[in-house]
Amino acid sequence: MQLELPLAIAPVAPPAGTLRYIQLGGEIVRYRFRRARRRSIGMVIDDDGLRIAAPGHVPITEVEAFIREKARWVSRKLSEWRAAPKPPVVNWSEGSSIALLGAPVILQYLPGRRGILLEHGRLGIGLVPRGEPAALRKRAIAWIKEHARALLGERLALYAGRLGVPVPSLSLSSARTQWGLCREDGHVRLNWRLIHLPLHLVDYVVAHELAHLREMNHSARFWAVVGGLYPGYAGARRELRDCTHRLPIL
Ligand SMILES: [Zn+2]
């Protein structure tokens, strides 16, 4: 079962699909359209605006009828999206900041050092010559992902212990539309971008996915398992909804 993001996180690749336009009420709405191997038409609004995916056999007229049917939802979501604060873009210069576990960390070049050092609110990146932001970005992202893997693994082990289940195998995702996913076979995928959020929200996502080991649904029984693992989950759930706007674009 997947824990979906209300709006997708920072773009990781240029948006796929053909640009199309449709008139909805008095408004011309731009959207990206692509064909996908799926059973039904899918619709998402994220940092790229409206995106539609449809199976190959569905004619475009039917796709447009589908969008018109959802016109009110689309208009409301698009105006929410326009009004929403935009995520910070990290420019990778010395002194720029990036959120780790909910707190800002200042980036620093350490050309004379080999490693990467997180200390006193500073993330020092070694081996990168000063003034090479692309190299700094590459090393920093690799480090952040490694750091995320270690942290998420730790939290997963902690909460698995509390639930009384073996620690599931973990893989990292950078999916655009989900924080986490628990497969039927017990494998858990967690979004490495969770590392930007405060620990209590990371823990909520971990507890949520682990609870799916007991209940592969979002029934009242499922939420009771979540509540047993993570009391006060409702607040974390609400807070998580606003976090997508704060996730930095790396
Ligand atoms: Zn779920």
CATH code of the domain containing 238? 3.30.2010.10
pLDDT band at 160 (very low <50, low <70, confident <90, very high): very high
Comparing CA positions, the residue from 76, 73, 1, 15 lying closest to residue 43 is 73
Residue 92 lies in a domain: no
Is residue 192 located within the same domain as residue 142?
yes
Answer with the one of 53, 83, 113 that is the final residue of a domain: 83
The average confidence (pLDDT) of the chain is: 88
* Residue 94 Cα to ligand 1 middle (Å): 39
* Residue 57 Cα to ligand 1 middle (Å): 30
Residues 6+ apart with CB under 8 A from 127: 111, 113, 114, 139
Is residue 26 located within the same domain as residue 117?
no
Q: Which domain holds residue 52?
A: 8-83
For position 1, what pLDDT does the model report?
Answer: 56
* Residue 207 Cα to ligand 1 middle (Å): 10
* Residue 178 Cα to ligand 1 middle (Å): 10
Answer with the one of 59, 83, 107 that is the final residue of a domain: 83
* Residue 135 Cα to ligand 1 middle (Å): 37
Instruction: Please determine, for residue 184, whether its predicted confidence score (pLDDT) is greater than 80.
Output: yes
For position 89, what pLDDT does the model report?
Answer: 86
pTM of the prediction?
0.69
Is residue 109 located within the same domain as residue 226?
yes
Structural domain count of the chain: 2
* Residue 216 Cα to ligand 1 middle (Å): 8
Average pLDDT over residues 238-246: 82
- For 222, the enclosing helix (H) or strand (E) is helix 220-229
SS (H, E, C) 47-92: CCEEEEEECCCCCHHHHHHHHHHCHHHHHHHHHHHHHCCCCCECCC
* Residue 181 Cα to ligand 1 middle (Å): 7
Average pLDDT over residues 117-128: 89
Residue 49 lies in a domain: yes
Strands 103-110 and 122-126, how do they pair? parallel
pLDDT above 90 coverage of the chain, percent: 63
Cα 63 from Cα 22, distance rounded (Å): 11
DSSP string covering 126-168, please? ES--TT-HHHHHHHHHHHHHHHHHHHHHHHHHHHHHHHTSPPP
Is residue 32 located within the same domain as residue 106?
no
Is residue 74 located within the same domain as residue 163?
no
Is residue 69 located within the same domain as residue 145?
no
Cα 195 from Cα 209, distance rounded (Å): 16
For position 82, what pLDDT does the model report?
Answer: 82
* Residue 203 Cα to ligand 1 middle (Å): 14
Comparing CA positions, the residue from 129, 141, 147 lying closest to residue 249 is 141
Average pLDDT over residues 82-97: 84
Instruction: Please determine, for residue 47, whether its predicted confidence score (pLDDT) is greater than 80.
Output: no
- Which amino acid, residue 117? L
Instruction: Please determine, for residue 2, whether its predicted confidence score (pLDDT) is greater than 70.
Output: no
* Residue 138 Cα to ligand 1 middle (Å): 32
Is residue 37 located within the same domain as residue 160?
no
For position 203, what pLDDT does the model report?
Answer: 98
Average pLDDT over residues 143-147: 94
* Residue 43 Cα to ligand 1 middle (Å): 19
51, 60 in Cβ contact below 8 A? no
The residue among 126 and 2 whose pLDDT is bigger is: 126
Instruction: Please determine, for residue 6, whether its predicted confidence score (pLDDT) is greater than 70.
Output: no
